[in-house]
Amino acid sequence: MNVRRFIFISSIKVNGENTAFGRPFTADDIPAPVDAYGISKREAEDALRLLCAETGMVLVIIRPSIVYGPGVKANFHTLMRCLDNRIPLPLGAINNKRSVLALDNLVDLILTGIDHINAANQTFPVCDKDDVSTTRLLTLLAEALGKKAYLLPIPEVLIRAGASLIGKQQLAK
């Protein structure tokens, strides 16, 4: 088999969990994965770089943020089910900024990476143009579902404390 180009779908988690306010992750950032998933993606990237250096194969690494679209899974799907079932959520006062990525945009980047000369041996942290707060994201999702979002304005500090009490700190990030 003569593979000339390998496109690896990694994760923005290779870069870490947070950036300074208003500063997105870049391809030049020093990787700082925190959890097992981010660490495993970083290790896979490193192994692929070595393989490509030995074989001459071209590598394109794509580090998507949270991907949304048909077939979405995990926490994103859970939030959508809650919105669809009109379950009140304590996320009406979250003024963070989240980077998300439409599945269609990810597919476009993958297709571009297949043969674009400037994509060769590059790493692309990728997200949609505009970051949104969790509150705004849920409002937009509810609208897309043709529903009203029932978002309770609970302060973030109380959400984090509650998540810690039940051992679910990851859910409050």
Residue 146 CB contacts under 8 Å (≥ 6 apart), including other chains: none
Catalytic annotation, pick one of 17, 18, 26, 37: 37
Is there a catalytic annotation at residue 37? yes
Q: Identify the sign of the CA torsion 73, 127, 102, 58.
A: negative
d(CA 133, CA 93): 9
Residues catalogued as catalytic: 37
